[in-house]
Structure 1
Amino acid sequence: MLNVNTIKHGLVIDHIRAGAGWQIFQWLGLDKAPFTSCLIQNVPSEKSGKKDIIKIDNIINIDYSVLGFIDPNICVNVIEDEKIVRKINMELPARVQGVFTCKNPRCITQTEHYVKPTLILTDRAKGLYKCEYCDTLYLAGEKK
């Protein structure tokens, strides 16, 4: 049995789609963080079969719109004195800006570095986004 210590004051990012945890772990810079954090992959889940979990023994700033884009089923638990004091449920954001690069090599965001790549939600039911500048399509959770 795997044993990971409890978090005294920090965050637990739960219900991450299995396999997406490493992308989030790196995006948050936890692979270089000076505080304790852990990524637990392929945890059995009644809801989804398997999931990833990230535990962070620190309170850090997170762009929740990016988490919602990566996986709208994510739940962030805020921990104080080893107890959950708040749950933050993600949802698909209306726009995601300046985090991902557009995959279209002819997009203006590839050559003009002052233009921030921006994805706009076009179909919430399908999780479909498009680049604001070149209309390239993306699915929420798609690796960039």
Structure 2
Amino acid sequence: MSAGHTAVTTPQPRPVPVEEPVIRCETPQDECGVRDLLDRLGDKWSVYVLVELAAGVLRFKELQRRIPGPVSQRMLTLTVRRLERDGLVSRTVYPTVPPQVEYELTEMGHSMTHLVKALSDWSIAHRPAISDARRAYDEAHPA
């Protein structure tokens, strides 16, 4: 065997074992609920809607003004409809001219805010480490 080939066949140190994952999919077809979670939290505006409605009932325009970034009326409408369809948001229409519409979180919607808070806390706690990892990666892999 050549000296260069020994590095390929030499056993590498094994990584330190980590705890068993909290969630595990038994088969590739078993989604473990991850797809539903990502469908809801993975779009651009749903988390913002959940965060703003966690404070209480809001009318449509109030909700639109509170969301950071330029969310269009159409996109916000689609977002709250999806959240309503999933049972996370309730919509109340008052018979006025023009119709007054209010949105609020359901009990299930409020329970999801704990998940959003945990993800936010994780992100804040790991922000420096993520920034360092990105910087090291970019230095090792120049464009």
Task: Tell me the TM-score normalized by structure 1.
Answer: 0.21
Larger radius of gyration: 2
- Pick 1 or 2: higher relative contact order, CA cutoff 8 A, min separation 6: 1
What TM-score does the superposition give when structure 2 sets the normalisation length? 0.21
Write 1 or 2 for the structure with the bigger share of strand: 1
